Structure formats: structure tokens, C-alpha cells
Structure 1
Amino acid sequence: MSKELHVVFGTGPLGRSVMRELLRRGQKVRMVNRSGRMGDLPAGVEVVAVDVYDPTQSRVAADGAAVIYNCVAPAYSGAAWETDLPRMWKNILEAAKETGARLVIGDNLYMYDQAAGPIREDRPMNATTRKGRARAKAVEAMLQAHREGRVRVTFGRGANFFGPYATDQSILGSRVFPALLRGQAVLQIGNIDLPHTLTYIEDFGKALVTLGEHEEAFGKVWHVPNPPTQTRREVLELAARLAGKPLRIRTLGGLALRVVSRFMPVLQEMQEMLYQFERPYVVDSSKFATAFGDLHTPMEEALRRTLEWYRRHPLPSTLKTARESA
């Protein structure tokens, strides 16, 4: 039986995890990014250079695809999400329409309102933040295209993720694991003693590939499987035990975050999302588990793999992970 071609737009942490899962399942993979280059590239994987803002280039990159995965990540800013995100998503959608490919979109949870209680897929997309409103608008455009029969689309939504290549834009990324392995203080924001669901990036990729294999997944939104929710302090304590290092945590509240963010643009953009870290943030992924199985990796194993990746990549800030994805 011949292999299907799977085209992954974006070679950041999520795109890479999708790639690895596709290879484990024996599929043919084409990766798409701006440069046409990709570090740590497995044998047999094609990488093509594409300006995703160009609809023709996007269409050519998707030629022959059975499934397209939208894992692109514009710059982490409200302005970019209002202007760049819709253009990127529209061109990838049009590529799926022209090729007849199924479209799987890797998504986050920013579009939901801030009501208390577990976050389920039926929660209203009534975000009050700039990035959340932009995300909700882009999502609705994609779902409308599905309803109109122009394309088959499904969404896999993850919480704040961590794992291999999830460095600069992860709350458990380059400001945590390198410092922990050096015995230095790790940086966190908000209240670390509240329940906070985290997504392991490898589970995220596995879930997107699973959605792409099931016709019944399309036209719907799914929360990807996550390890059981813990507090971030509990997660960090487990990571420290696995690393064999003492744990020291430096936390930033709202005022401190505003001061430090003057020198760290990513933290500046995090200010409007601080609500996620100052109240319980629990994601319900039972809908996915019921339909396709609970694919989550236990937290201890996920942290063990993450620590091993950071040991092999001692200077992750030099890796082109966040911006490589666009």
C-alpha cells in the first residue's frame, strides 16, 4: 500500500511533534517553512521554502497532500494575530480546498471566555483579550468554510505546552529547564499553587495526527489529551527530583511582570493572558478520550523526556524553534 503524503505547515515545536508522529506511523512527510531549512531533520523528510502569505506558494507546497496540518505560529503579539494570523490561515485553507486535502489545525485556548470551571469545547468563544478575540475570529472563519462544504477542517486545541523544542514561548520552557539543570532559580508568573493544566507537546502532535485519520473528527473542535492537572509547583518539584537538582522558584506577579516585560517582549504580551495563571486553569479533554482514546503521556515520563532533550540541547535559546514555524 502506498503512503499518503502529509504536509505540515510550520516547523516549530508543534509541527515537529506532528512530523515525528507521522513518521512513527509510516507516512510520507513534507515540512513547510519560510527558509526551507530545518535542524535535526530526520532522513526522508522533505522541507520546502514557502512564503505562507503567498497563496500560490502555499498551494504548490500542498500539492498531493491527503492531510494538511496547520501548525504555523505568527509572532506572539496581538497586532500580529489580528493581521498575520488570518492571512496565513486563509492561504492554508485555500490550499486544502484546491488539493482536496483534509485540514487539521493546531490551536490554543485563548478564544474562550474567563468563566470559572473546567474548560470544555462548548465554552463560548467570548474572549476579552486582544489575542483571544483575534483567534476566535480566525477560528469562526475556518468553521464557516467547513459548514459551507469548501473544506474539511478540524481543530485540536492544547493548553500551555512543554517538551522538546518548546522553548521561548512555553511557560515551562527555556526559562525553566536550562536553569533547573544548572541549579539556578526558575522563572514563573502568577500563582503557581493553583491547578494548571499543561499539554505535553508530543501528545499534542499525536492527537492532531489521530484527528486527521478520522472522518468523524471533522467539523468539530477537540481538546487534546493532557496529563492529570496539577499545580505548577507540583510539576516543578517533580522535574527537580528527576533532574536531581534543588528547586528554587522566582515568581512574577502583575506589577513585577509589567516591570520585567519592558526588557522581555514575550512577557509584555503575556500581561493580558495573566488571568490564566492567577486562577485555576483546568482543561477537560474527556471528549477526545471518549472518541479516540486517552493518548496522554504520564507527567513523570513527559518531564523525563523533556529534561533529556534539554541536556542534549544545552543552549535552546539559540535554536530556531519559535520563529522557524512561520
Structure 2
Amino acid sequence: MHTILGANGQIGEELTKELCRNYSKEIRLVSRSPKKVHDTDQLFPANLMDHEATHEAVKGSGIAYVTVGLPIDSKIWEEKFPVMMQNVIAACIKHECKLVFFDNTYMYAKTSEPQTEESAFAPVGRKSKVRAQITEMLLREMRNDSIEAVICRAPEFYGPNKTQSVTNTLIFDNIEQHKKLKVPLRDDTKRTLIWTPDASRAMALIGNTPDCYGQTWHLPCDDSRPTYSEMINMASEVYGRELKYTVLKKWQFNIGGVFNKQIKELQELLPRYQCDNIFKFDKFNQKFPSFKTTSFMEGITQIKKNKMPRKNIVSTFLLLTVLVQGYAQTTSLIKTKVLDTVETKLNSHIIQMLWLKDTIQVDIQKEQIQVDPTLIKSLRESAKDSTLYTSKEEIDELLGVLRRGAQNCYSYALESYFEHNEAFDQIVFGKSTHVGLESAEKILDNYFQQIGLVNTKPRRNLNEPLPNDVLLSFINKNGRAIHYAYYHNGVFYSKNGSFAPTEFQSLRKFLKKSYWDTQQIILYKIDEEKVKNI
């Protein structure tokens, strides 16, 4: 019996396919909610934090493969990984089961020195120290001959379908979504990445080769080690279009970490992107000379062929597509600096920032939000119904409203403007950012140019063509800006309150429905010369 502990993830699923294809149909999938890959798979729901459950999951197995993953959270890693590893080791010893451990490279020094199976551990950062700790736990038992085990170590992933990694999130997911590509820190350092199906194939091969046990093995990768610049050039060739990209600087990650915990969690890994990453696997190649690895061109072609939409890691790396937009070869970054936290509220932080030369305030919604009991009380009193919002479904619906309401029209219009702008990028406005009218008007008054004005009466004025790529400010009879929108290629992009963003093509119909009291619409473009000289 081949048992996969931590099944249904990117490595576990590919491992299941490889084992069934070439080794055995007797496969047990273990996770909190396992799902079958083949009809013959056995499902075993279990929490590896539970000692007894882990023993039951391993019982009767010949080989147990550990591919379990956890969210990118240092506290969770410190609390769970050592307990899980101890439970798995104890279960394998008791039931005389071989153990194949899928490991990563977090514990290595993040330098340009080549990494081999003999490289010393030099963990820096909480997550790196946890990975070193659990690997040492297993190595200790291996040295004592108390367990028959093998360690399979892999560098950063890239790959199809469920593959989650910094590279997949910032490069390949953005290609599919026609967004700007992001490169962490440098585009000229060599990268060693492993194609996830190759990692699983190699792991299955090692686990089923008896004389591989008692050792650590580096899994095989494409040996060409391209830079991100070269990788993106390959992707441009595969996709048949020029792919432009942005290089994110370390200070941008620092700013993003203020807004997003998962960006902060990523920061301990950043040094590995500052230098060449030379992960060596000569030992594997010598042992298995006929094993064919997937080239980058083949891998990128496969990613394009699959075209399977994926969630960004952060949930993990929600990162960087919302709060961290970078410094590009073809774009300049709007300079910003966090000055102070003005107020911390139940679901957000009010941050004072320097945006170019002006101080603005933004309200940043927290990742984890909750419903204020006083809000529920107010809603019940307003509806005169004490049974409102007593069910989980109603609470979830209300939380959804709160999340959608985090970004207001001013923030959304500015985000949309810079998302399409080829000269400048920005790091402030995103789906969790609310900016007040006073701050928004500072930005328009000081860094944009008014290039046109549309009087809404007579209404036929609204049928006149507009210049492309403009930000629109809707002004009421009191001279107040009541709404912002963005116009691009015949489409208006708008957001109102807690409603989802909308797109429309008829300005006349939009005003009649939503902003009938608009007297004028002022058209703005960024003052490029002024901003470049700051």
C-alpha cells in the first residue's frame, strides 16, 4: 500500500498519478478532505496533528509519502509542522513503514553558492528554521537506523494546474489574466525551478528504489537556469506576444507588508531572488541517467495549453497583484512612503502616507474581518426583526458586503487608471483600499491635468466621443466630486459603495440610473512631465 500524507495538493496529486501509472494501484490518499484522483484510490480523512489518526492512516502501508503543506504563516508552521512530523515518524516506526519526505530548500543559505545534498543548513527566518527543525528530526532517526526513510528535496516550483509558487503567481498567472508580469527583486539572476510533475515522478522513482533510502536526494530540474528576463522572453515566444514585466524592489515588499500579512511572511525568502540560485542534482542524474526532465520551453507550452485559472497564493500572494505594483523597465513607480498608523479599527487600519509630495490618508481593510455586533443590532432595529443575521449564511453574506465595500469609487478609478497606464505604476490603490475625497482631490489637483470638460445638459453632450484613457470626476451642482470613473477603449469602469465593480458603455444611461444630479464631468490625465521630475 502506497499512502500519501497530504494528498490532493500540487505534488500529492501528480505523485498519485505517477504511482498508479507505473508502480501500484493500491494507493491511499490522506488529508483532512481527500479527493480521488483514480477510481481505485482509497480515501482516508485524517488530521496529522492527531497522533492516533496518523497511526491509523499509516497502518498497513508499505511506503508513506509526506507531501503535506501549510499556509504561509510562521506561527502555524511553528505550531503544526513539528507535531505532524513527530506523529508521522512515530507511526512509520511502529508500523514498519518506509517514509519518503518531500522537502524544500528554505534551510539553505540564500546565497549564490551551489546547493548540493551536502550543503550545510543556515536557516534565516522563522519558516526556514521550522523546515530545518523538522528535517533534522527525520535525519536524527535515520542516523539512528530507527526508520527506513529518504528525503527528496526540491527548489521553487513552476507548473500547471494547481501549482502554487511565487513564479507561477507573478509570471504565469498574470500572463493568463493579461496583467503586468511581476519579477521579485532582479531579472538578471539565474533561477533553478522544478516542474511539479517532474518532482512527483522523481519522488516516486526514489521511493521505489530500495538503495536510495537512508539518503537525501536533490530532485532534477531543467539545467539551463534562465534568468527571469530570459524566462519571460521564452514565454513571449510561446504565447506569441511581447510580455512586458515589472521588477519589484525590496522596499516595495516592505510597504506591502504593512498592508498584507502574507506579503510580510514572504519577506524572509526574498534574499534568494537577489542572487543566482544554483540548485545541483548531479547525484540524481548519475543514479538515473535516463530520467527526462521537462525543459522550460516544454513547461511553458504546457502551461499555455492548460489555461486553467488559478487562485493566487497569497490568498498567499494576493500580494503583489493588489498592493505591490512595481518598478518596471517601461514604467516608473509613483513614490510613496508610509508615515504613520492614524487609527486601528475593528476591520481596518487608517494609514497616513506620502504620495509623491502630498500627505494622504487611506483606509486599508484587514485580511480577516468580522461583523460589528452594533451593526447587527442596528440592522435588526431598522428592520424591526430580531431574527436577522442569526444564521451563518446571513453572516457570511454580510461579511461579503463589508469586503466589497472596502474599496470606494475614488480608489477603484485610480487603480484602474494606473493598471492601464504604460508610463507609471502605483502601490496604494487596490480592492482593500478606501481613499477619502480630500486625498483623492489632492492627487488630481496636484499631479493630473484637466484635459476636458463635459456639461451634462443638454444630454446630447453625453453622446460625444471622449479621449481614451482618462479619469472622470463627476461634479454635482454644489461643485462637489460625487464619483470617479475610468474610461478605456469605449468602456467605463466604475464602482459604487458595497457593490461589485461594473463596466458600462453608455454614459447617458449610467448618469440617469446612478448619478442623475451630475452637472459636469471633468476629464483628467496624469501630468507626466511633472511627476517624472519629482
After superposition, what is the alpha-carbon deviation per residue over 1:116-152, rounded to whole angstroms, capped at 9, x for unaligned? 4211111111222222222111111101112222211
Query: Which of these residues, 298, 303, 310, is aligned with residue 301 of structure 1?
Result: 298
Range that drifts further, 236-245 or 11-20: 236-245
2:91 aligned residue: 95
1:32 aligned residue: 30
What SS does the aligned partner of 2:39 have?
coil
With a CA cutoff of 8 Å and minimum separation of 6, indicate the structure with the bigger relative contact order. Answer: 1
What SS does the aligned partner of 1:128 have?
coil
TM-score, length-scaled by structure 2? 0.55
What SS does the aligned partner of 2:121 have?
coil
- Report the number of matched residues: 311
What SS does the aligned partner of 1:84 have?
helix
Query: Which of these residues, 71, 92, 95, is aligned with residue 67 of structure 2?
Result: 71
1:249 aligned residue: 245
Query: Which runs of at least 4 in structure 1 moved beyond 6 Å after TM superposition?
Result: none
Q: How does 1:221-300 map to 2 (within 5 A)?
A: 221-228=216-223, 229-293=225-289, 294-300=291-297
Letter in 1 for 2:11: L
Query: Which of these residues, 206, 210, 219, is aligned with residue 215 of structure 1?
Result: 210
1:164 aligned residue: 160
CA contact (8 A) 2:124 2:268 kept: no
After superposition, what is the alpha-carbon deviation per residue over 1:198-220, rounded to whole angstroms, capped at 9, x for unaligned? 01101110111111112221121
2 CA distance for matches of 1:150 and 1:226?
31
1 CA distance for matches of 2:160 and 2:90?
31
CA contact (8 A) 1:240 1:246 kept: yes
Range that drifts further, 185-194 or 293-302: 293-302
2 CA distance for matches of 1:179 and 1:244?
15
CA contact (8 A) 2:190 2:277 kept: yes
Max Rg structure: 2
1:206 aligned residue: 201
1:148 aligned residue: 144
Distance apart, 1:185 and its partner CA:
0.9
2:101 aligned residue: 105
Q: Which has the higher strand share?
A: 2
CA contact (8 A) 1:12 1:165 kept: no
1 CA distance for matches of 2:23 and 2:88?
24
Query: Which of these residues, 19, 24, 42, is aligned with residue 22 of structure 1?
Result: 19
Range that drifts further, 171-180 or 18-27: 171-180
CA contact (8 A) 1:161 1:201 kept: yes
2 CA distance for matches of 1:210 and 1:127?
29
Letter in 1 for 2:27: V
1 CA distance for matches of 2:312 and 2:110?
35
Stretches of structure 1 that go unaligned for 5 or more consecutive residues are none
Note closer, same or farther for the CA distance 1:318–1:111 as it changes in structure 2 (3 Å cut): closer
Note closer, same or farther for the CA distance 1:245–1:267 as it changes in structure 2 (3 Å cut): farther
Letter in 2 for 1:83: E
Stretches of structure 2 that go unaligned for 5 or more consecutive residues are 317-534
Aligned identity (percent) is 23
